[in-house]
Amino acid sequence: MIEHSKYDAVVFDWDGTMMDTTALIVKSIQHAAREMGIPVPSDEVASSIIGLDWRNALRIAVPDLPMERAMEFGEHYQAHYVPNEKRVFLFPGMAELAKELKASGVAVAVATGKSRRGLNRILETTGLTDLFVTTKTADECTPKPHPEMLEEISIETGVDKSRMVMVGDTTHDLFMAKKFGCDGIGMTWGAMRAEELLKAEPVALVKNAEELRRLLGGE
């Protein structure tokens, strides 16, 4: 049990950090590309865009896609993603860790590249809606790695950046933290390898919820 956290606010990314959605996102992007008859991105390219807003993600993953057809691409993506979302699970120990943090008085929040609609749907499915003091999505704020999500969370919670940490599995999360001026912790079980995450200079890399719990608890 965490009794005294090193931080007053812990902000979690969602895809690839709280929930093991990386493979499903990749497959859904590849499915949509095939359906539209454009070059299918590799697993590495498709996973690299996780956490970005939709249009910037498409420019990287499927550069041959005309932006006026982005909505059509999104429809094909959702047709594959949504029916399979119920087969995806939270990473072991992450919900329990977030509950421990909340019980210890820490403000627990989410900053995600998901849409508000998508985040609300999965929070309802997992029953975690009331766990977070606030949540920020890419269609409500300037997308990662811009620090607006963290700026708004800091204002809403009253927690200074010196007492806040961003936990994420991509450099988009960690560069966001760096631009805001708070600590960043990289989770190595998500979309990017450790060597990629290190480019954003996180204060630590962890490979599972237990390692993260010890780090946040100051052990």
Q: Which residues fall within 8 angstroms of residue 219, CB to CB, at 6 or more apart?
A: none
Q: Give the other-Cβ count within 10 Å of 212's Cβ.
A: 22
Q: What is the spatial distance between Cα 47 and Cα 44, in angstroms, rounded to a whole number?
A: 5
**One of 13, 53, 169, 183 is an active-site residue; which one?**
13
Q: Is 173 a catalytic residue?
A: no
8 A C-beta contact, residue 196 and residue 75: no
**One of 8, 15, 53, 64 is an active-site residue; which one?**
15
Q: Which two tokens stand for residue 36?
A: 């539209």
Give the phi and the psi of residue 159 in degrees, each rounded to 5: -100, 125
Q: Is 139 a catalytic residue?
A: no
Provide the annotated active-site residues: 13, 15
